């Protein structure tokens, strides 16, 4: 071999060794950059892309995972307390109902000082070089006018219609747009100013806004904790209009909250980082309720480590960046959690038995440092009767009422939960969940204890001895209507049918697609069905209105799919609805419960129990139950995470080494031959 060839061979060998060493050091399945190591980043997966982050439009749980972190609201919820408790957010204090001399009711919102928006190019509309500006009360007025704007298509028109003059503003805005074609070309804030103001939304000064009602509606305080009550700068709506290369406001929200979006590819990756303009970040010395970790909670929180002295009173947020990666498939998402690449996860159906045993983590999962969090969600599921039906409803009179009670006595909720939901859920005695005012643990519904003998006796009293319909001489036939045509869905519903068959009833499942089922509910063409309701806000009114006549589905398009109607229930409901949580309200709830127990328009089934997993390095976790994220309270220990990931994810290197060596073996002789020929 010539000296030149030897030099080339030596050089190639050195290069190969260096390449292998470099490859060995860098080859990893870690999806995140090395610069993330040691940083307080929370890694989360999302399955469905958010449709909109416009705060006056966004309403889904998927969207709330983001909007709840980027928008500030006048009020918020206490991180730890249950029943759910409101605390001041942007407001100095929780507004109280002031009864005015003219019979109206006023809620005055007084804002904190120095509320500033996150930096954004849109503010140059208010002056060249401007990056931000202070939030003023007029921005909340503008936000509520957007709710009223039919072009925005906000789902919050109904609750805001309790505000004086809200509907009239909608009518004026629509009329002006129809009568003046040039009017619609003006920016939204100019249109609103031309037909406004809204009588019941009064801007007192830059830091004060009044909401005025002509009737009691204490639930309005809960709406002040919803993202649609976040102030919105007119500049953001005018700038982010989809023109001149600007995105739409639904994809580029501008906020005052603890986090702001720094990367938004909703099909792949969304990144939120601490908003350094947030008042809690700029003024930790204020130690306001929504800007520091709480010092008290409910019984058991201290034992669960949720009142750690290392956190109590410390300024929020603890995590500097929220990293969301889209994962469409359950199993890959769960596997990445098990590798430590996602900090928290749900439990995929296919792995449930390997993760959970008897309601607790399996030893294998516990040894990995994984933690299980369980919470009863304010989500109520029931079997309903269409009270417009002549057999099971109001038209059947006492006979139908007894039939409904007998059917209720058959359904074994615990067994249904065991068979179909891995035991996740709590049997319901009444429709108010444990986290809501009005729940009483001591209450037992006499018709929700499985008692087949009593059920048969009640059927005799109803005129259906042995389940036989005297009009036909055959078992009474009813229809179980469902919009779930899957095999699992049919099996779940067949369970109820089999329970009722034990007392002689002949109930047939009528499964259609979801849209056809909804059409049945709309027309009142159903008999017995399975349904549920998740709380919009944590108030008993938001559950008890499911039986209010004014909420009937067929006549009024409301959520009362049972079309239940009872004048005494309606009267008591209106009294209960208008009260704050006190002894009198509890008394009214008990009376409403007694009516429901007697009339049995539904079979109270269960409250959903959510299971979630997190790694040991994730701190300060308490499932909230509703869709409001509490991310600003969470913390991570990146050193533990980095070390654990490394231990769990050793890359398999031998194929790479083999391939590299094979490449060298094939390449070097050719190069040597080439160099020899050149000599």
The predicted-structure confidence for 577-620, as pLDDT tens digits, reads as follows 999 999 999 999 999 999 999 999 999 999 999 999 999 999 99
pLDDT for 20: 43
Q: Which one, of 449, 442, 441, 439, lies nearest residue 411 by Cα? A: 449
Please state the rounded mean pLDDT for residues 99-113.
97
CB 538 within 8 A of CB 378: yes
- Domain 376-610 carries which CATH code? 3.10.105.10
Summarised one tens digit per residue, pLDDT across range 432-484 is 999 999 999 999 999 999 999 999 999 999 999 999 999 999 999 999 999 99
Q: For residue 16, what pLDDT band results from cuts at 50, 70 and 90?
A: very low
Please state the rounded mean pLDDT for residues 530-536.
94
Instruction: State how far the Cα of 216 lies from the Cα of 193, in Å rounded to an integer.
Output: 28
Which residues are paired to 105 by β-bridges? 99, 213
Q: Which one, of 71, 120, 142, 122, lies nearest residue 241 by Cα? A: 122
Residue where the block lists tokens 């019941």: 200
pLDDT for 175: 97
pLDDT greater than 80 at residue 665: no
Instruction: State how far the Cα of 499 lies from the Cα of 418, in Å rounded to an integer.
Output: 15
H/E run at residue 137: helix 137-148
Summarised one tens digit per residue, pLDDT across range 130-145 is 999 999 999 999 999 9
Distance, C-alpha 425 to centroid of its chain:
18
CB 470 within 8 A of CB 463: yes
Please state the rounded mean pLDDT for residues 394-407.
98
pLDDT for 29: 82
Tokens of 618: 């994730």
Q: Is the peptide bond before 197 cis (omega within 30 degrees of 0)?
A: yes
pLDDT greater than 80 at residue 2: no
Q: For residue 668, what pLDDT band results from cuts at 50, 70 and 90?
A: low
Q: Which one, of 236, 251, 215, lies nearest residue 54 by Cα? A: 251
Q: Is the peptide bond before 83 cis (omega within 30 degrees of 0)?
A: yes
Please state the rounded mean pLDDT for residues 292-320.
97
Model pTM?
Answer: 0.88
Q: For residue 650, what pLDDT band results from cuts at 50, 70 and 90?
A: confident
Please state the rounded mean pLDDT for residues 671-675.
52
Q: Which one, of 531, 498, 495, 527, lies nearest residue 514 by Cα? A: 531
Half-sphere exposure at residue 268, Cβ-oriented, CA atoms within 13 angstroms: 3
Sequence-distant (≥ 6) Cβ neighbours of residue 578 within 8 angstroms: 215, 216, 217, 218
Summarised one tens digit per residue, pLDDT across range 150-196 is 999 999 999 999 999 999 999 999 999 999 999 999 999 999 999 99
Instruction: State how far the Cα of 377 lies from the Cα of 107, in Å rounded to an integer.
Output: 30
Instruction: State how far the Cα of 398 lies from the Cα of 402, in Å rounded to an integer.
Output: 6
Collapse the DSSP code of 397 into the 3-class scheme (helix H, G, I; strand E, B; otherwise coil) and give the result.
Answer: helix
Within 10 Å of residue 5's Cβ, how many Cβ atoms?
Answer: 18
Tokens of 420: 């179909």
User: Which H, E and C letters describe 370-424, residue by residue?
Assistant: CEEEEEEEEEEEEEEECCCCCCCCHHHHHHHHHHHHHHHCCCCHHHHHHHHCCCC
pLDDT greater than 50 at residue 21: no
Q: For residue 111, what pLDDT band results from cuts at 50, 70 and 90?
A: very high
pLDDT for 8: 43
pLDDT for 17: 43
Average pLDDT value over all residues in the chain: 92
Instruction: State how far the Cα of 237 lies from the Cα of 55, in Å rounded to an integer.
Output: 11
Tokens of 297: 């909670």
**Of 40-54, 287-301, 316-330, 659-673, the least confident:** 659-673
pLDDT for 27: 56
CB 620 within 8 A of CB 304: no
Summarised one tens digit per residue, pLDDT across range 261-277 is 999 999 999 999 999 99
Proportion of the chain above pLDDT 70, given as a percent:
92
pLDDT for 85: 95
Please state the rounded mean pLDDT for residues 26-53.
91
pLDDT greater than 50 at residue 678: yes
Q: For residue 673, what pLDDT band results from cuts at 50, 70 and 90?
A: low
pLDDT greater than 70 at residue 661: no
Residue where the block lists tokens 């790479």: 656
pLDDT greater than 90 at residue 247: yes
Q: For residue 343, what pLDDT band results from cuts at 50, 70 and 90?
A: very high
Q: Is the peptide bond before 365 cis (omega within 30 degrees of 0)?
A: no
Q: Which one, of 577, 551, 534, 586, lies nearest residue 220 by Cα? A: 577
Q: For residue 677, what pLDDT band results from cuts at 50, 70 and 90?
A: low
CB 69 within 8 A of CB 259: yes
**For 143, which DSSP code?**
H
H/E run at residue 448: none
Proportion of the chain above pLDDT 90, given as a percent:
90
- The domains of the chain are located at 3-27+652-678, 376-610
Q: Strands of 201-205's sheet, edge to edge?
A: 97-99, 105-110, 208-213, 201-205
Instruction: State how far the Cα of 372 lies from the Cα of 359, in Å rounded to an integer.
Output: 10
The per-residue DSSP string of 463-483 comes to T-GGGEETTTTEEPEEEEEES
């Amino acid at each position: 071999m010539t000296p030149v060839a030897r030099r080339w061979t030596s050089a190639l060998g050195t290069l190969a060794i260096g390449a292998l060493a470099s490859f060995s050091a860098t080859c990893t399945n870690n999806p995140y950059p090395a610069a993330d190591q040691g940083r307080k980043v929370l890694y989360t997966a999302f399955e469905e892309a958010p449709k909109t982050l416009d705060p006056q439009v966004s309403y889904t749980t998927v969207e709330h995972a983001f909007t709840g972190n980027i928008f500030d609201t006048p009020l918020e919820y206490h991180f730890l307390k249950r029943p759910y408790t409101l605390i001041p957010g942007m407001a100095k204090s929780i507004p109280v109902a002031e009864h005015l001399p003219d019979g109206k009711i006023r809620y005055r919102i007084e804002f904190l000082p120095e509320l500033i928006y996150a930096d954004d190019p849109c503010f140059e509309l208010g002056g060249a070089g401007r990056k931000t500006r202070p939030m003023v009360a007029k921005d909340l007025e503008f936000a509520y006018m957007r709710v009223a704007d039919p072009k925005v298509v906000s789902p919050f028109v109904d609750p805001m219609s309790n505000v004086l003059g809200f509907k009239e503003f909608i009518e004026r805005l629509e009329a002006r747009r129809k009568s003046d074609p040039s009017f619609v070309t003006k920016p939204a804030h100019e249109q609103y100013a031309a037909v406004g103001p809204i009588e019941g939304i009064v801007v007192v000064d830059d830091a004060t806004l009044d909401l005025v009602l002509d009737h009691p509606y204490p639930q309005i305080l809960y709406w002040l904790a919803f993202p649609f009550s976040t102030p919105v700068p007119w500049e953001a709506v005018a700038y982010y209009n989809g023109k001149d290369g600007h995105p739409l406001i639904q994809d580029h929200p501008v906020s005052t909250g603890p986090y702001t979006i720094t990367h938004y590819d909703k099909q792949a990756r969304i990144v939120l980082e601490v908003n350094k303009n947030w008042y809690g970040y700029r003024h930790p010395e204020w130690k306001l309720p929504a800007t520091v970790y709480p010092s008290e909670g409910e019984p058991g929180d201290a034992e669960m480590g949720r009142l750690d002295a290392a956190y109590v009173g410390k300024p929020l947020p603890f995590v500097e960046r929220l990293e969301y990666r889209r994962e469409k498939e359950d199993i890959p998402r769960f596997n990445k959690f098990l590798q430590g690449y996602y900090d928290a996860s749900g439990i995929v159906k296919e792995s449930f038995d390997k993760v959970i045993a008897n309601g607790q983590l399996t030893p294998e999962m516990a040894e990995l440092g994984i933690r299980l969090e369980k919470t009863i969600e304010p989500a109520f599921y029931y079997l309903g009767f269409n009270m417009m039906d002549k057999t099971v409803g109001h038209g059947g009179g006492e006979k139908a009422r007894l039939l409904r009670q007998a059917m209720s006595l058959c359904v074994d909720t615990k067994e249904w939960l065991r068979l179909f939901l891995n035991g996740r859920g709590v049997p319901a005695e009444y429709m108010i969940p444990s986290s809501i005012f009005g729940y009483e643990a001591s209450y037992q519904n006499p018709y929700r204890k499985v008692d087949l003998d009593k059920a048969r006796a009640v059927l005799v009293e109803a005129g259906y001895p042995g389940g036989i319909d005297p009009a036909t001489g055959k078992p009474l036939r009813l229809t179980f209507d469902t919009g779930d045509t899957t095999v699992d869905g049919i099996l779940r519903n067949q369970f109820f049918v089999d329970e009722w068959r034990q007392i002689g009833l002949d109930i047939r499942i009528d499964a259609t697609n979801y849209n056809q089922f909804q059409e049945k509910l709309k027309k009142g063409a159903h008999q017995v069905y399975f349904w549920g309701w998740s709380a919009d806000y944590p108030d008993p009114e938001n559950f008890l209105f499911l039986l209010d006549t004014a909420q009937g589905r067929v006549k009024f398009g409301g959520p009362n799919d049972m079309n239940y109607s009872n004048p005494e229930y309606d009267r008591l409901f209106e009294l209960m609805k208008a009260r704050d949580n006190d002894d009198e309200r509890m008394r009214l709830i008990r009376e409403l419960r007694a009516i429901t127990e007697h009339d049995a328009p539904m079979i109270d089934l269960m409250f959903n129990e959510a299971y979630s997993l997190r790694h040991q390095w994730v701190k300060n976790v308490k499932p909230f139950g509703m869709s409001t994220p509490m991310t600003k309270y969470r913390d991570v220990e990146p050193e533990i995470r980095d070390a654990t990931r490394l231990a769990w994810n050793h890359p398999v290197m031998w194929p790479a080494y083999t391939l590299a060596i094979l490449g060298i073996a094939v390449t070097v002789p050719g190069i040597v031959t080439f160099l020899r020929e050149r000599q």
